Amino acid sequence: MSFSRPDIIRPPSEWRSYFLPLTRGCSNNSCTFCGYYGSKLQIRDADDSKSEIDALALFTRSGIRLPNVSKVVYAVAQGWDGNRVFLQDGDALVYPFSKLKEVLQYLNEKMPRVERIGTYATPQDILRRSSDELKELKQLKMGIFYTGLETGDDELLQKIGKGANSHDLAEAGKKVKEVGISFSVTIILGLGGVEGSKKHALETARILTEIDPDYVGALTLTLVPGTPLYEQWQRKEFHPLSPFQSLEELRLIVENSNFTDCFFSSMHASNYLSVRGKLPSDRERMLRELEAVLAARDPSLLRPEFLRGL
Ligand code: SF4
């Protein structure tokens, strides 16, 4: 089957990157809340990826467009500043290691101005690689891994089909940090529903403290049609949080997690309120902002439901 280019799904901070697909789908397609649930992993041929790098290099150097290259390549390359590349798709770190090195070496050779390469990575992908292999990737300018932590609650991790427990998550995080690759994790407000909210928040704060990542992005659960969690909600087996309950959860996480130096934000479009800052230095200010909105209980202070995105 020929490789079909995935839609661009990226971390908010990668908005200025060039998006180079190496895979399509996710190797861990079992998370019950995720749009990748049940997706079939496709691995792109390394030569195909290298052809795209050739086309990109030619375009950035001289503006020449080749007829047989996807229009998406030029649409993305048009406004690109040449600094960052993000590897698609759901967990591009699953790409076979020798091929990954081959593509990154080629990218470095053809586009030496690229400063940082980033990718989504599951904890399983990270743990599969040795520290030496991760160091090799770092030398090839792999600068950041984005990992869906979701929660630190082991019972909930099992329930949502994450395929990893909190110990795995912590081990993966430590491994990445030890080799000097930046580690950015996402957590999902509301994932435990009403009944599991407090445990989810406290266990998430615990695992965040243990990992001490460079970046934490809080997302708010969005129920996606076609996923098992959506079906559970339809059957009234899952009880989602209200917007203000999700902010209470966020407050609990900010209050109870301890970091050395972390940029913590809820800027993602799925959130009802955007709070951001450095932790620990901005903790009091962030909590004050949350408190003010929680005390007012005024829905007009929140992002309206129709403007929330995935
Ligand atoms: S590992 Fe991430 S991308 Fe893959 S199914 Fe789970 S949440 Fe989705």
**pLDDT, position 310:** 67
Count other C-beta atoms under 10 Å from residue 191's C-beta.
27
Peptide bond into 89 cis (omega under 30): yes
Q: Which of 120, 122, 156, 185 to mutate to test the pocket of ligand 1 (most atoms within 8 A of CB)?
A: 122
H or E stretch at 226: none
Residue type, 127: L
Query: Domain residue spans in the chain?
Result: 12-297
pLDDT in tens, the chain (310 residues): 689 999 999 998 999 999 999 999 999 999 999 999 999 999 999 999 999 999 999 999 999 999 999 999 999 999 899 999 999 999 999 999 999 999 999 999 999 999 999 999 999 999 999 999 999 999 999 999 999 999 999 999 999 999 999 999 999 999 999 999 999 999 999 999 999 999 999 999 999 999 999 999 999 999 999 999 999 999 999 999 999 999 999 999 999 999 999 999 998 889 999 999 999 999 999 999 999 999 999 999 999 988 887 6
Residue closest to 192 by CA, chosen among 182, 184, 202: 202
Q: Which atom of ligand 1 is nearest to the CA of 161?
A: 6
- Give pTM, 2 decimals: 0.95
Peptide bond into 280 cis (omega under 30): yes
Tell the residue number behind the tokens 């913590």, with chain if given.
Answer: 264
**pLDDT, position 142:** 98
**What residues does 154 pair with on adjacent strands?**
none
Q: Could you give the count of Cα atoms lying within 13 Å of 287 in the half-sphere of its Cβ?
A: 13
Residue closest to 157 by CA, chosen among 191, 126, 121: 191
Residue pair 258/209 in contact (Cβ under 8 Å)? The answer is: yes
User: Is CATH 3.90.550.10 the right assignment for the domain spanning 12-297?
Assistant: no
Residue pair 279/304 in contact (Cβ under 8 Å)? The answer is: no
Q: Whose CA is nearest to atom 2 of ligand 1?
A: 148
Q: What angle do CA 121, 127, 133 make, to 5 degrees?
A: 85
Residue pair 251/291 in contact (Cβ under 8 Å)? The answer is: yes
CA distance linking residue 121 with residue 119, whole number of Å: 6
User: Which protein residues touch ligand 1 with a CB less than 6 Å away?
Assistant: 26, 28-29, 31, 34, 36-37, 90-91, 122, 148
**Quick one: CA torsion of 54, 60, 61, 66, rounded to 10 degrees?**
50
**pLDDT, position 308:** 83
Residue 13: both structure tokens together: 């901070």
Q: Which of 24, 27, 28, 229 to mutate to test the pocket of ligand 1 (most atoms within 8 A of CB)?
A: 28
DSSP state of 238: S
Q: Which atom of ligand 1 is nearest to the CA of 37?
A: 5
Beta strand pairing call for 182-189 and 215-220? parallel
